[in-house]
Amino acid sequence: MFVVEKFLMLVESKECLWKISAKDYSNRDKKTNAWQEICKEMFPDWEELDQDEKREKGPEVQKKWKNLKDRFQKEVRREKAVRSGSAASKKKKYVYYDIMQFLLPQLESRSTESNIEPPNPPEQNSDMSLSGLLQMTPWNVAHHLQNLQENLFNLAKKPILRLNCFKS
């Protein structure tokens, strides 16, 4: 019989399987050894199994871990999505939620950086030739057109100066 609580405690004791900051997290050999040790604990007859049976049960154990971890992550996301002041959920808490609390630091959002720079607003003295306009981004073109429209509107509001140079 597969005892999930025991399984989770065994996985927790093997940081190389779940802790991203562990020095052995990227070490494939350490991970393989850790899974073999877990299998020995979970299946009392592990040593008597032939290689084919071990190759079958090993990935099943890893799949079980992935399913448990994914379900826990889903529960954490659901919990974070609850708005303040909203009614209490009628949905029961995930059965292994309390046991899997050791994963919470691994689920924190990491900051990201974009390699795309935000568009720069057009300069007042920007190139107004056709080639200059073609090189502008759509945002810059729209911004420039808005500036032109404002300038035309302001010109229309000013009184027209009439110079009468033909008066004597």
Instruction: Give whole-number Cα distances, 47 to 13, 31, 39, in Å.
Output: 21, 19, 10
The closest of 65, 64, 120, 74 to 97, measured between CA atoms, is 74
Q: Say what the pLDDT of residue 128 is.
A: 57
The closest of 69, 96, 2 to 41, measured between CA atoms, is 2
Q: Say what the pLDDT of residue 34 is.
A: 94
Region of 122 please: left (phi>0), alpha (psi -120 to 50) or beta. beta
pTM: 0.61
Dig out the tokens for 64 from the structure.
């079980």
Span 107-148, pLDDT tens digits: 876 667 777 776 665 555 455 565 665 666 666 777 777 777
- Contact by Cβ (8 Å): 121, 147: no
Cβ density class 144-155: b for 16+ within 10 Å, e for less: beeeeeeeeeee
Length of the chain in terms of residues written: 168
Residue numbers in the chain where pLDDT is lower than 50: 125
Q: Say what the pLDDT of residue 118 is.
A: 65
- Contact by Cβ (8 Å): 103, 72: yes
